[in-house]
């Protein structure tokens, strides 16, 4: 099973692609069985999913036991650092505020791409664009926004003291958290986790361009 942020596009999949994606490959039997049940449910428009105790798959089904609420314990239990890696147009301040409700003490580092998208950007997210810029200069509560010189497309959640990463399709947006079918895998392999941490350390820091309401067009 391969799962993550890569779309079937040149930007995500080709050798010359410019997106920074994050995917995971697993041969874990219970996780694959769970994914097969999810596929069957989509294909036949009937719920074939069942609880598989050892599965590392998480997906959304508008229930407290499923995404995004299944991530809540990881946020609550983290006491060192929460690391998030997302495109700046796939962040909504309302979701960040929800995460802060779950953990208002632990440092949250939000890495974002350093350029605003030029198309398909919802106007109602202008508030978040302004918030990202302002927080990249002055932290917002326990959140630091860190722009980097990458065209980020990954949807990566990391919990440092737990040595756990959630590699997924779930953005930090209301649609992803509330209405879309999203999926991801919990990863706790120490070598893979170190690889992710070391990769993030190599990113070159950048800055965001200030945006005003009048600049929207």
pLDDT exceeds cutoff 60 at 46: yes
DSSP 83-127: EEEE-GGGB-HHHHHHHHHH-SSSEEEEEEESS--SSS--GGGHH
pLDDT exceeds cutoff 90 at 198: yes
Q: What is the CA radius of gyration of the chain?
A: 17
Q: How far apart are CA 4 and CA 9, in angstroms?
A: 14
* Token pair recorded at residue 23: 């995917």
Looking at residue 213, its pLDDT comes to: 63
pLDDT exceeds cutoff 90 at 217: no
Q: Taking every pair of C-alpha atoms in the chain, what is the biggest distance, in angstroms?
A: 53
- What is the pLDDT averaged over residues 164-185? 96
Cis preceding-peptide flag for 140 (omega within 30 of 0): no
Can you give the pTM of this predicted structure? 0.94
User: What is the pLDDT of the chain when averaged over all its residues?
Assistant: 92
> Between 150 and 126, where is the model more confident?
150
Nearest to 177 by CA among 112, 109, 92, 102: 92
pLDDT exceeds cutoff 80 at 133: yes
Contacts of 82 (CB under 8 A, 6+ apart): 75, 99, 103, 106, 107, 108, 109, 157, 158, 159, 160
Q: How far apart are CA 5 and CA 38, in angstroms?
A: 18
Looking at residue 148, its pLDDT comes to: 97
Q: What percent of the chain has pLDDT over 70?
A: 94
DSSP 145-172: EEEESSEE---EEEETTTTEEEEES--B
Q: How confident is the model at residue 63 (pLDDT cuts 50, 70, 90)?
A: confident
pLDDT exceeds cutoff 70 at 121: no
Q: Are the C-beta atoms of residues 196 and 164 closer than 8 Å to each other?
A: no
Looking at residue 62, its pLDDT comes to: 76
- What is the pLDDT averaged over residues 19-38? 96
With H, G, I as helix, E, B as strand and everything else as coil, classify residue 32.
helix
Q: Which helix (H) or strand (E) holds 200?
A: helix 190-201
- What is the pLDDT averaged over residues 110-128? 78
């Amino acid at each position: 099973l391969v799962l993550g942020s890569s779309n079937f596009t040149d930007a995500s999949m080709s050798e010359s692609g410019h997106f920074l994606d994050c995917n995971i490959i697993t041969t874990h039997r219970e996780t694959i069985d769970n994914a097969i049940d999810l596929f069957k449910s989509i294909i036949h428009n009937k719920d074939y999913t069942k609880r598989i105790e050892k599965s590392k798959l998480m997906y959304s089904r508008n229930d407290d036991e499923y995404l995004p609420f299944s991530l809540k314990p990881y946020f609550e239990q983290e006491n060192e650092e929460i690391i998030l890696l997302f495109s700046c147009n796939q962040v909504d301040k309302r979701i960040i505020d929800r995460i802060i409700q779950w953990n208002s003490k632990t440092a949250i580092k939000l890495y974002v791409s350093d350029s605003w998208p030029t198309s398909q950007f919802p106007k109602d997210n202008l508030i978040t664009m302004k918030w990202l810029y302002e927080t990249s200069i002055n932290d917002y509560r326990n959140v630091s926004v860190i722009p980097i010189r990458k065209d980020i497309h990954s949807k990566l959640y990391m919990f440092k003291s737990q040595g756990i990463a959630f590699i997924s399709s779930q953005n930090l947006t209301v649609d992803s958290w509330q209405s879309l079918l999203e999926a991801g895998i919990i990863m706790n392999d120490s070598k893979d986790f170190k690889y992710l941490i070391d990769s993030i350390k190599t990113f070159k820091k950048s800055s965001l361009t200030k945006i005003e309401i009048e600049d929207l067009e």
